[in-house]
Structure 1
Amino acid sequence: MAFVYKLSRISLQSPRNNGMAKCTRRPRVVFHCSAAPASPEKPRLSGKCPNEADPKREVAVKFFLSLGLSTEASLRLPARLPKLCRSDLPVFAEPTLAFLRSHGLSPRQVARAVRNAPQIFFRPREEFAPRIEFLENVARIPKDNLKSVIAKCPHVLWMDLKNAGMVTETVIEECPRISLKTLSEVFLRVPQVLIVRPNHISANIDSIRQAGVSDAAGLSRIIGKAPLALVYDTKKNLAKRLDYLSGELGFSKSTIGKILVSTPEILEWSVEKKIKPKTALLQSLVGDDHVAAVIETVPSILGVNDVLDPVLWLRDDVGLSDKQVQKVLREAPAVLTYSVVGNLAPKWTFIHETMGATVEDLVAAPREVLCANLQQRAMPRYAFLASHGKRDVAVIDVLRGSDAEFCKEVAKCDAQVFRSYVDNDTYLLFFSRLM
């Protein structure tokens, strides 16, 4: 017997906190299932590979080529699904193709859907409409994005609705801080989540939680940024990534948790092709004994695409030796996450040429010099001191510490006086006169 579902109540709305859904009552997705006339028996998808000279096979291959599939895919599909080898395949497949086109799929998307799930031609088309209704009303996928979801994972057109509803519930229950928008984006990016078993999703989320992510907000961020983590094989794929961080690199749970929250994409990266090369590069820059400390300080560093740009800038433009560069990176690893053009170069130009800092100052206090905010710290403090005739203060003393410490120990002024100077943008007038 088939199931016809009816959405009786969808209570996913809940108060929000900073854009995240904070559930005061556990949301539920309820389905009423009633008996419906049984669908025709599903055809078997097994059989012997047809002979290459089979005329029916040639019809299938030409048909797939006409849809825009590659030669390799057109040859592979009949072998993968022998029932496709039929002389009337173009006529037999046309109603399904018309259905896909009517929902806005482009020729390329139609070809992708057929390539990903050729069994779509043997599924009763009456199954499709309620699944599309589910995608729109429960998974909350906008109509304009449905065609992309269908092309990517056509299997959602005949998925088990009861299972899909339980999956939605499970994600919300396991990640109570996940927003409705993020939940929709998860299903949009990885629609196959709706097909896997709920206990598989729970197992994967539990693995992430045990790895070091204890707070609900962090867990929701990870799932939103790396939804593939929900469908990976728990032991083979997900565990391999987490074990590398804890085993081979020896990171603590605290460090792993920070890495996952700041760079969730690491759960989708290949250990051999991406994670190992990134950590090996960091080891070569800061030394084996300092990698853990650097990542602990700046966990997002693993997500930076090009950490060599700041390194080359320090060496070639600033003029530091390799040993000096290593010291700077160990003490101020955040430098590796900064843009040279948008951050480091203009900051150093001002601190070096206007404030008078030397290369020795930079090496002695890299955090104060290179991590200071140019417009919120360096410029206002320098302008305040200069406008009050205090130009003989060491650059490092100007840049280090909080505003309160700066006022008390360096400027020798009331903190409110300096705060007003900054808030009123008075320091900009100083530079205007200077220019």
Structure 2
Amino acid sequence: MFKLRSPENADSVLALLRNHGLSETQISKVFRSAPKILQLDPQKILLPKIEFFSSLGISREDLAKAVARKPNLLVMSLQNRIMPTYDFLRSMLLSEKNVVTVIKRSSWIFVEGHRKHLVRNVGLLRELGMPQTCIAFLLTHCSSVLMLNPEKLGKLVGEVKEMGINVENTTFASALDTLCGNNKLVWNRSREAYKKWGWSEDDVLSAFKRCPTCMIMSEQKLMQSMDFLVNKMGWSSGMIAKYPVVMNLSLERRLIPRCSVVKVLLLKGLINENFNLGSVVIPAEKQFLETFVNRYLGKVPQLLSVYQGKVDIQDA
């Protein structure tokens, strides 16, 4: 059981954390996860680490969140762990801005350190021909992949290569993340769900190669989106397999509003059915409005209201 040796020191640590933006809830998390912090010298041990991270440009709020998620960030040696890991990340990511992104998303890298698996895994990927840009993408967006046991990463890389994904493309990095850890169970579940909608094994692999993250959404989201697109809009499941990125889009905020507009235009004979799903849901909002809403307002004045969900399709 943890025994507090110096209440005065604990009070000083508490004051330091408060002064640097941690809320009472965050401080409580810190002490539960790493009670040892209460015994560390606030000025000689804790403050230099906080000042170091602050000097990189990370905001008080983001640093507070990072410390609350991984309190041992303040326990690790500044000279022997934190700074060497920073130097390694800086050499890989080129800019302090990208390193700050890693701190915000994956502060545990500074706890684990770069020497455990990171250096070896980066070397492995370089040997396979993965460019620096893709490795940097992994570090900033999918860092857990690079902290895998090197043997596990090697096996995972082999699986992705067998699927025919180019190692020089960021999709390869995204695919590694998608198949990492528990995601593999979700991937298998999604494969079976898509097959229920008529996808073949080739359709699944083709969709995965185009958009790896279409395989790791919740089953409820997958089934609801497919039901809407296939049963309510009349698109074939094969069409969706060609534009799998649509599965990542919000049903309520993107798919339903845009498809409702298209449905009205189809019913009124203002557009024909020879357009693809991607042209409807992928473009930015401004482009969609120009293409499918603004040019038809003269003939369908309520079209914008349909898009905004204020008017039903049958009332437009």
Q: What band does the TM-score fall into relative to the shorter chain?
A: 0.7 to 0.9
Is the 1:335–1:370 Cα contact (8 Å) retained in structure 2? yes
Is the 2:213–2:248 Cα contact (8 Å) retained in structure 1? yes
Selected match of 1:350 from 228, 231, 254 = 228
Cα shift at 1:336: 1.9
TM-score by length of 2: 0.74
1:171 alignment partner in structure 2: 53
Say yes or no: does 1:210 pair with 2:78: no
Is the 2:178–2:213 Cα contact (8 Å) retained in structure 1? yes
Structure 1 residues 176-235: Cα deviation after superposition (integer angstroms, max 9, x where no partner): 0x221221233333333334343342221221222236351x432321222222233432
TM-score by length of 1: 0.57
Cα shift at 1:156: 2.3
Is the 2:266–2:272 Cα contact (8 Å) retained in structure 1? no
1:431 alignment partner in structure 2: 313
Q: Kindly tell me: are residues 324 and 192 of structure 1, through their superposed partners in 2, closer, same or farther at Cα, counting changes over 3 Å?
A: closer
Cα shift at 1:171: 0.6
Q: How does 1:24-63 map to 2 (within 5 A)?
A: none
Say yes or no: does 1:374 pair with 2:255: yes
Is the 1:351–1:369 Cα contact (8 Å) retained in structure 2? no
Runs (5+) with no aligned partner, structure 2: none
State the identity %: 16
Cα shift at 1:169: 1.0
Amino acid paired to 1:158: Q
Is the 1:135–1:141 Cα contact (8 Å) retained in structure 2? yes
Amino acid paired to 2:89: I
Amino acid paired to 1:374: L
RMSD across aligned C-alpha pairs, in angstroms? 4.0
Cα shift at 1:393: 1.5
Is the 2:54–2:60 Cα contact (8 Å) retained in structure 1? no
Name the one with the larger strand percent. Answer: 1
Q: Kindly tell me: are residues 265 and 415 of structure 1, through their superposed partners in 2, closer, same or farther at Cα, counting changes over 3 Å?
A: farther
Say yes or no: does 1:333 pair with 2:212: yes
Q: Kindly tell me: are residues 153 and 392 of structure 1, through their superposed partners in 2, closer, same or farther at Cα, counting changes over 3 Å?
A: closer
Q: How does 1:21-420 map to 2 (within 5 A)?
A: 111=1, 113=2, 126-138=8-20, 140-146=21-27, 148-160=29-41, 161-174=43-56, 176=57, 178-199=58-79, 200-212=81-93, 214=95, 216=97, 218-244=98-124, 246-247=125-126, 250-266=129-145, 269-272=147-150, 275=153, 279=157, 282-283=160-161, 286-287=163-164, 289=166, 292-295=169-172, 301=178, 305=183, 306-315=186-195, 317-342=196-221, 344-363=222-241, 365-367=242-244, 370=247, 373-386=254-267, 388-390=268-270, 392-396=272-276, 399=280, 402=283, 414=295
Is the 1:329–1:335 Cα contact (8 Å) retained in structure 2? yes
Q: Kindly tell me: are residues 340 and 277 of structure 1, through their superposed partners in 2, closer, same or farther at Cα, counting changes over 3 Å?
A: farther
2-side partners of 1:290 and 1:205: how far apart? Answer: 26
2-side partners of 1:196 and 1:159: how far apart? Answer: 11
Structure 1 residues 129-151: Cα deviation after superposition (integer angstroms, max 9, x where no partner): 4334333334x444455454344
1:102 alignment partner in structure 2: none
Structure 1 residues 9-42: Cα deviation after superposition (integer angstroms, max 9, x where no partner): xxxxxxxxxxxxxxxxxxxxxxxxxxxxxxxxxx
Aligned residues: 304
Larger Rg: 1
2-side partners of 1:132 and 1:368: how far apart? Answer: 46
SS of the aligned residue for 1:425 comes to helix
Structure 1 residues 106-135: Cα deviation after superposition (integer angstroms, max 9, x where no partner): xxxxx3x35xxxxx6xx5665444334333
Q: Kindly tell me: are residues 273 and 134 of structure 1, through their superposed partners in 2, closer, same or farther at Cα, counting changes over 3 Å?
A: farther
